[in-house]
Amino acid sequence: MEKVYPMRINKYLSSQDYCSRREADGLITAGLVKINGRVAVLGDKVSEHDKVEVSQSVKDRTSRLKYYAYHKPAEIVTHMSEDGQSDIKEISPIKDDSVFPVGRLDKSSRGLIILTNDGRVTGKLLPPGMNREKEYAVRVDKNINGFFLNKLSFGMDLGDFITKPCQARQTGADEFIIILTEGKKHQIRRMCDALGFVVKDLQRIRIMNIGLKNLKPNQYREIKGKELETFLSALDL
């Protein structure tokens, strides 16, 4: 379900899967939550651009935090579906009910999704303006050329928004890699469509320093060690 802003701070923390609303009220009352550097109070509301922070003193559950890289198959929805479609939690071999997908990947797309029980990651990875790199391998319905890549790279007016400049390079006659620092709904498909191309296959292969590597559809691996340290450090966690 799409989030509606402004949103009460306790509902926001709950929507980020950080804690329940009741637990959030306790953290707020204790002065452990800040909005844009100001200590939050019960009833405060946040917009999608606000910076919400939870004090380090409540992060004693760190040892229980888990992080997984998962290869979402095509035709699987990311979050719980209301119309009976299969979702990640339903088919994933990860036997940990505490973890949840961070962000989304279109139903018809495949590739990397991070699953975790660390609600802080959502607030650090997804908000606009964070400029977190996400890399995709794309195949379209006909051969591409330099003009196509340049149009992708320098930003495009899609009517309701203008895309940020990005990196795009050709890897085959009808294939290319694109690296975005934003994540509008159906963005790559819309960019290609605006140039007269149809996306035939779209696979996310990297989120920041976390790569899909050799994971096959519906396979996963735990993110740990130096890879995890680099990821959390880049998120300032």
Catalytic residues: 106
Residue 128: count of CB within 10 angstroms of its CB: 12
Nearest to 175 by CA among 129, 146, 137: 137
How far apart, in whole angstroms, are the C-alpha atoms of residue 161 and residue 202?
21
Are 217 and 110 in contact by the 8 Å Cβ rule? The answer is yes
Determine which helix (DSSP H) or strand (DSSP E) holds 190, and give its type and residue range.
helix 187-194
How far apart, in whole angstroms, are the C-alpha atoms of residue 49 and residue 129?
8
DSSP designation for 62: G
Q: For 204, list phi and psi in degrees, rounded to 5.
A: -80, 125
